[in-house]
Structure 1
Amino acid sequence: MYTTVNQEGILNNYAPETPTYYAEYPSQEQQRRYAFQGAIATLLVSFLVLTTLAASSIG
């Protein structure tokens, strides 16, 4: 941890800097998994919206 002291004696603590790195492009398997998760999420949200519309039209 990096600490400095100003003229009034107040301490300033700084967190250590982590090394930066570039993300790697996802593999074909990861891309398929992301597409599958997106499809499941779309179905879930659509189901929730249709359920809400059906429930509000009943009342």
Structure 2
Amino acid sequence: MYTTINDSGLLNNYATEPQIYYAEYPNQETQNRYKLQGAVATLLVTALVLVALGVS
């Protein structure tokens, strides 16, 4: 943490900034996992909507 003191004695604290890095494009295995998760999420939401409509 970086701290400065001005003329009147007030402290200013500055957080240390993390190092910046660029994200990497996901490989084919990760993309397939995302597709599977999207399909499962879509099925879950569809099932919940159908159950809600069936109950009401």
Fold similarity call, TM over 0.5: yes
For structure 2, the residue ranges without an aligned partner over 5 or more in a row are none
Q: CA deviation at 1:7?
A: 2.9
Q: Provide the secondary structure at the position in 2 that maps to 1:23.
A: coil
Which segments of 5 or more consecutive residues in structure 1 lack a partner in the other structure? none
Question: Hey, which bits of structure 1, 4+ residues long, moved more than 2 A?
Answer: none
Deviates more, 1:23-32 or 1:7-16: 7-16
Alignment length (residue pairs):
56
Deviation, 1:11, is 1.2
Following superposition of structure 1 onto structure 2, how do residues 1-59 of structure 1 map, counting pairs within 5 Å? 1-56=1-56
TM-score in terms of structure 1 length: 0.86
